[in-house]
Structure 1
Amino acid sequence: MIKQLIVNADDFGMTQANTIGILVAHSQGIVTSTTCMMNMPYAHFALKQAQNYPHLGVGVHLVLTVGRPLIDGAHSYTDVNGNFIRPKDYPDGKPHGDSEELYREWKAQIEKFIEMAGHKPTHIDSHHHVHLLPWHIEVTKRLAKEYDLPIRQREQIIDTYPYIPVYDKMYNEDVNYQYVTKVLQSHSGSLEFMCHPAYLDQRLYDMSSYNLPRMKELELLTSNELKDFIQQNHIELINFSHLHNKH
């Protein structure tokens, strides 16, 4: 059984409805953390609303595969219209960003967060886990060091903060109480549980093929049954702001 749990809701700011859903999953459920997509039109709405929830950790959800970049002149990851190239349009189904172009873009996303929120993010992760692709890891580590931030990790790639592995397999699974509690019982120590709770609006339905299951996640993460399990098993709910630099 795990002892500490970070429940991180991805895609904060993607749409108005999914943002509200994440806030409900925090205020009425077990979500402790979220990450904001800074190139989305609802990023400002999301960060402004988050000010009302001081115990919600908010990080940056680095983007490379949806919407438009924040900087101009990058060609390694944009199409002829200046939009991010979708994964399905790469030969191997995975984005490939030039290191310097990628560094400038992701730095711009972090800087926009700081400008809007008035403080650093709690951590960084990414949409579609692109920050963990082998050819992007050095950029990820460079930014984590520059801003002194923990990052989402599958395997340990930085040692400046306590290593908390992410469980990211709930996506497109049959989401239910038994599934989640089995995950928590089968791990030890600390764990980040990635999730996508949301209410659904037309923008989310059009943007993401993963749409209706998000509402099912929201229902589960706010259920008394799951909250009781957390309490009865003395699992400490934390976010990335509770992690301290070891150096």
Structure 2
Amino acid sequence: MINQLIVNADDFGMTQANTIGILVGHSQGIITSTTCMMNMPYAEFALEQAKKFPQLGVGVHLVLTVGRPLVEGAQSYTDQNGDFIRPKDYPDGKPHANQDELYREWKAQIEKFIEIAGHKPTHIDSHHHVHLLPWHLDVTKRLALEYDLPIRQREQVLDTYPYIPVYDQMYNDDANYQYFTHVLSSYHGPLEFMCHPAYLDQRLYDMSSYNLPRMKELELLTSPEVKTFIQENHIKLINFSDLPHNHL
């Protein structure tokens, strides 16, 4: 059984409804952390609302595959309209960004977060896990060290903070009590549980093929059964700001 749990809701700021859903999942459920998409039109709304919930950890959900970059003129990951190229339009389904262009774009996303929130993000992860692609990892680690931030990790690639593995496989019909408790019972030590809870609006329905199941996730993460399981098994709910710095 795990002893510490980060429940991170991805895609904060993608739409108004999914943002509100994440905040409800925190205030009424077990969500402890979220990550904001700084190139989305509701990013500022999300970060302003998050100020009302000081116990919610808020990081940056680095974007490379949806919407429009904050920095214009990049050639390695934009289409003829200047938008991010979607994964399906790459030959291998994965973006391959120029490192200098990627550093400037992701640094701009982090700086925009700081400008709006008034403080650093709690951590870094990314939409579609693009920060962990081997050819992007040097940029990810450079930014993590520059801003002194933990990052989402599948395998340990940075040791400045304690390693917390991420579980990222809850989709569709997996959002149920039996599945959730089985996952938590199968791990030992700390764990980050990645999720996509939301209320649904037209923008989210149009943007993401993974839409209706997000409401099922939200129902699960706010359910009395899940909260009771956490309490009875003495699982401490934390976010990335609770991690101590590893002093070498």
Q: Name the TM tier (shorter chain).
A: over 0.9
Q: Aligned partners of 1:174 and 1:23: how far apart in 2?
A: 22
The answer to whether structure 1 residue 207 and structure 2 residue 182 are counterparts is no
List aligned pairs for 1:115-126, cutoff 5 A.
115-126=115-126
What CA deviation, in whole Å up to 9, does each residue of 1:169-212 have, x standing for no partner?
11344210000000000000000000000000000000000000
SS across alignment from 1:93: coil
Q: TM-score, normalised by structure 1?
A: 0.99
SS across alignment from 2:159: coil
> Partner of 1:80 in structure 2?
80
Q: TM-score, normalised by structure 2?
A: 0.99
What CA deviation, in whole Å up to 9, does each residue of 1:201-227 have, x standing for no partner?
000000000000000000000000000
- Structure 2 unpaired stretches of 5+: none
Q: Aligned partners of 1:74 and 1:173: how far apart in 2?
A: 39
Q: Which runs of 4+ in 1 moved over 6 A?
A: none
> Partner of 2:30 in structure 1?
30
> Partner of 1:151 in structure 2?
151
> Alpha-carbon deviation of 1:121?
0.1
Letter in 1 for 2:192: E
> Alpha-carbon deviation of 1:140?
0.3
List aligned pairs for 1:135-214, cutoff 5 A.
135-214=135-214
SS across alignment from 1:31: coil
What CA deviation, in whole Å up to 9, does each residue of 1:116-154 have, x standing for no partner?
000000000000000000100010000000000000000
Identity of aligned residues (%): 83
List aligned pairs for 1:2-17, cutoff 5 A.
2-17=2-17
Letter in 2 for 1:234: H
- Structure 1 unpaired stretches of 5+: none
Letter in 2 for 1:85: I
> Alpha-carbon deviation of 1:235?
0.1
What CA deviation, in whole Å up to 9, does each residue of 1:37-78 have, x standing for no partner?
000000000000000000000000000000000001101000
Q: Aligned partners of 2:151 and 2:172: how far apart in 1?
A: 23
Q: Considering only aligned residues, what root-mean-square deviation do their CA atoms show, in Å?
A: 0.5
